[in-house]
A and B are shown apart, each in its own frame.
Chain A
Amino acid sequence: MEKGKSTGSTSLLSKKVKIEGELKGNEDLHVEGHFKGSIKISGDIFIGPTGIVEADVEAHNVVVQGQVTGNVTAHKQLQLQSSGKLLGDCAAQSIHINEGALFEGRSKMIRSSASTTGGKPDGNRPKN
């Protein structure tokens, strides 16, 4: 899994802590506690088995081992592991769901604009 555009350090929300509100930033996030609100980060987010997220999540890679109630946008990959639960819609470039996961919602694939060579961002648009 490619790393996100984060600074390299990981923030951690531990098991007995609850945060309610908006979270934004340029870091990786590891959630083991309770989060309610909205998350928008440019790094990766890892929701551990005790993590409960009632929020819309937007991140680079999203790995879910806990519970997410809300819409998830993963700019790269969404991974639902076998203990993961996603109740909500998701949008991702690639999606990986392990057996045992729970997913109720709508899935939408994000098509990358520059998937072939690393050319200009304005580069070749699909001719349709």
Chain B
Amino acid sequence: MALFGKKDDEVRPPAVQAPAAAKAAPQSSQKNTSLDTTYVGKNLQIKGNISGEGSIIILGTLEGKFDLKGRLKIAQGAKIKGNVRATDIYVSGNIEGEIAASERVQLDNTAKITGGIVSPKISILEGAMFDGEIKMSARTAEVSKPASPRPTQAPPAAAPEKKETEL
């Protein structure tokens, strides 16, 4: 028993030292050691548009548009009002607006989405709230195009009427 106890102690110290060493690392760099991931903290409110490349993690509030070539993660507690466009979108917070992903959308169990989703791949965990329309067609980049494949000879004002009759 004592031998097993000693062995466990021998095994544990390195594991304990690793997180201690990580904590000893400079406190200014918390989650991202690289400067590639944009991080919007939970006490930050942005009213405006975000565009660019790379990964973004949002914990705060944003009112505006997103146009990103990369991974977007909307963490729990984050509130977004506006259209979101990215390559991958992982949602654990609130979004009011249209979402368009060119690769995948993942809704966590704390996600709340009011608005449409356009994405070739979708995954929704139980507990997520989703009120809107979902489209999984191949052409995900064009959200503004009308859904019906028929050529719209009629003026654009007639297009919503066509959709209603289809439903």
Contact = CB atoms under 8 A, between A and B. Distances in A.
Interface in B55-80: 56, 60, 64, 68
Contact of B41 (A7, A15, A17): A7
B48 interface: yes
Contacts of B60: 11, 25
Contacts of A10: 28, 30, 39, 41
Contacts of A15: 35-36, 54
Contact of A9 (B30, B36, B52): B30
A17 B30 CA distance: 20
A12 to B, nearest CB: 4
A51 to B, nearest CB: 10
Contacts of A32: 35
A13 B44 contact: no
A17 B48 contact: no
A104 interface: no
A96 interface: no
Nearest to A13: B38
Main secondary structure of the interface of A (DSSP, over half): strand
B43 interface: yes
Nearest to A11: B41
A21 B49 contact: yes
Contacts of A25: 41, 43-45, 60
Interface string A1-22: 0000011011111111111111
**Highest count of chain A CB atoms <10 Å: which of B28, B49, B52, B68:** B52
A19 B68 CA distance: 11
Contacts of A14: 35-38, 52, 54
A20 B49 contact: yes
Contacts of B37: 12, 14
A26 B48 contact: no
Given A17-B38, A17-B54, A33-B52, A12 B32 contact: yes
Interface of A: 6-7, 9-27, 29-30, 32-34, 37, 41, 48
Interface of B: 28, 30, 32, 35-41, 43-54, 56, 60, 64, 68
Given A11-B40, A17-B51, 16 more contacts: A12-B38, A14-B37, A16-B54, A17-B50, A17-B52, A17-B53, A17-B56, A18-B50, A20-B48, A20-B49, A20-B51, A21-B64, A23-B46, A29-B44, A33-B52, A41-B44
